[in-house]
Amino acid sequence: MTAAVTRLAQTHGDSGLRFTQRQDVILTGVAEPSALSTEPLLERLCPEPDPFERAMVACTSAPFCKFGILAMKPYGTRLVEELRQRIAPEGWGRLHLSHLPKETIELIRASLAGKSHVVAGEGFDIERSLPHGHVALLFAMAERLGLAKLLGPPCAERDLVVSLVIARCAKPASKLATTRWWADTTLGSDLVPQGVGTDEVYAAMDWLLSRQRAIEASLARRHLSEGSMVLHDLSSSWMEGTHCPLAARGYSRDHKSGKAQIEYGLMTDAEGRPISIEVFAGNTADPSAFVSAVEAVRTRFKLEKVVLVGDRGMITSARIDALRSLGGISWITCLRAPQIRVLAEQGAIQLSLFDEANLCKITHPDYAGERLVACRNPALAAERARKRSELLLATEAELQKIAAAVTRERRPLRGKDAIALRVGKVVNRYKMAKHFDITIGEDRLSFSRREEEIAAEARLDGIYVIRTNVAEVRLDAPGAVSAYKGLAVVERDFSNMKAIDLDLRPIYHFTEDRVRAHVFVCMLAAYLLWHVRKALAPLCFADEETPQRADPVAPATRSRQAKNKDATKVDAAGEALHDLSTLLNHLATLTRNTVLFAGGVRIDKLALPTALQRRAFELVGAPIPTRIGPL
């Protein structure tokens, strides 16, 4: 080939040869270019080649060339002939051919792009692995609810409050322990500023408390409207320490009668979403808390016409008289036992009323302008009869022991006061003094049951009376019963806040404002978890569709689907079911790993999510994020 080209240069030109950058051959000093057209060589090497010939690059293959694009030139020539026959040259693109495997070609391409490669399994270390899935899911739900926007304008305190709420849902602990826990999750590295300690956390709590009324008003606008049903109930939690001004001894719903406590009233919508919470001194009476709830509805939430639902200890006759003067506020409550006893004695309530149904409407002049719905729950009646029988027997057994001590020969119990003291301890423990006639002397003790009073009480077993001023055209008798029994959702919120999920108690803060802020953080966490529970219900034992009650007085029942969950412990697809805590624990195994490569390159890489973890994020309506935030 070289000799043939040299001959052309000598015959038709001045023997000079030049080469372009693309290695095209130039003959210099050619006098008659047309004479070249008769040369056989130019049938193969023409001055104007087609696109395939012009673009072809060949080399001496991999042993001699690091690219090894084509094995040899003859192969390239044959390929050009084949392409010329099969493909029109107009508009053709770029074609790369190689005898190398596809994976190797991709490796070469990446190397030419400046990327580095290491042997699989070598050249890197997992520098850090942090739990990610549980806090990422809680953050995703918080974003969906607009929690950050609800709290206030962007600032460091707002970020810390969101982090406190998520931490309270995922790992409830003291504020100091929470700052340590943050560092061991992606929440700490992504959302919490470095170096945050308890001082910054307390400052964020103070900031939150200053915005509590505005936040609660926003929640009320979201979930309440004119004519809404508002549920309100009071609970208590014990305190540690003696310096908090709110701490006082009162009726303990936690059965911690020897400890000082605080009380707090929780307000929810009809479905149980927390709307507002207010902290009171530990010796506050239920009616006083209810007055504050009414004030919040009227002045803070700007609602003129709502239906307040509260228990019999909260909405008393005195409070009802006060509500009448306000106008616009309706109420649903229940009569107390002495009031029911009076109705029974006056003949307004008789067992024959419940022969055909478990509820009936009654009237009485003492409740003019109101509606009374008497209900009898047979299951509750049987339970109260059983419990009373056990308490009577237990009381008699203990009194018999005291009587034996009085009559024994050796060191008998003597003295009216000493005997009365022992008897008092027994009757106070079992609350059965009203059912016994007890006679105490200096050296004797006798007792007997008050059978008539016991029988009278037994006739009212399982009977309760709903009291409301809501018109029947708006809420019929079964609806009024269902509304009052709806207070169960508030009790469920209390259980979740105090023990099951959020560990509100015991409380270690000793300033009034910090106690209020702590309780409010727990309420916001309860609000977040309420929505998380609802979204993740298909993965848990929760009842996804609570069945409608045919009889509102009868105990609530679970749906067939929920009963099947309880029996099999798996869902319809055969996957294991969880409660919320174990599901969050499983989500925490979705880790974010910091990978350190040779040469100092670091990347963050999520572990491959399980099917359950993917499903959880799908139910929340969010993709699985690599990072949390920013807000």
Task: Give per-residue pLDDT as tens, 542-553.
Answer: 998 888 888 898
Model confidence pLDDT, tens digit, residues 421-478: 999 999 999 999 999 999 999 999 999 999 999 999 999 999 999 999 999 999 999 9
Average pLDDT, the chain: 88
Report CA-CA distances (Å) from 516 to 136, 245, 266, 299, 601.
28, 12, 13, 20, 47
pLDDT at 213 over 90: yes
Mean pLDDT over residues 22-51, rounded?
73
| pLDDT tens-digit series, residues 581-608 | 999 999 999 999 999 988 788 899 999 9
Asked whether the predicted pLDDT for residue 145 surpasses 60, the reply is: yes
Average pLDDT over residues 8-28: 77
Model confidence at 70, pLDDT cuts 50, 70, 90, reads very low
Across 532-559, average pLDDT: 89
Residue 72 has pLDDT above 80, yes or no: no
pLDDT of residue 281: 92
12: confidence class by pLDDT, cuts 50, 70, 90: confident
The pLDDT value given to residue 425 = 93
Model pLDDT, residue 440: 93
Percent of the chain with pLDDT over 90: 58
How does pLDDT run across 168-195, given as a tens digit for each residue? Answer: 999 999 999 999 999 999 999 999 988 8
φ, ψ for residue 276, nearest 5 deg: -155, 150
* Res 47 pLDDT > 80: no
Looking at residue 37, what is its pLDDT?
A: 72
Between 220 and 76, where is the model more confident?
Answer: 220
* pLDDT above 50 for 613: yes
- Higher per-residue pLDDT: 437 or 45: 437
pLDDT score recorded for residue 6: 83
Let me know how long the chain is. Answer: 631
pLDDT of res. 301: 93
pLDDT score of 23: 67
Neighbours of 618 (CB within 10 A): 12
pLDDT at 50 over 60: yes
In the prediction, which pLDDT does 40 show?
77
The answer to which of 84-98, 371-385, 425-439, 613-627 has the lowest mean pLDDT is 84-98
d(CA 583, CA 501): 12
Answer yes or no: is pLDDT of 59 > 60: no
Distance CA 120, CA 597 (A): 12
Q: How far apart are CA 207 and CA 497, in angstroms?
A: 22
Give me the DSSP letters along 448-476.
EE-HHHHHHHHHTTTEEEEEE-S-TTTS-
**Closest-CA residue to 533 (of 570, 572, 568, 502):** 502
**What's the whole-number mean pLDDT along residues 555-571?**
90
**Mean pLDDT along residues 124-142:** 94
What φ, ψ does residue 29 adopt, rounded to 5°?
70, 30
Give the pLDDT of residue 131: 96
What average pLDDT score do residues 142-157 get? 95
As a whole number of angstroms, the distance between CA 40 and CA 28 comes to 19
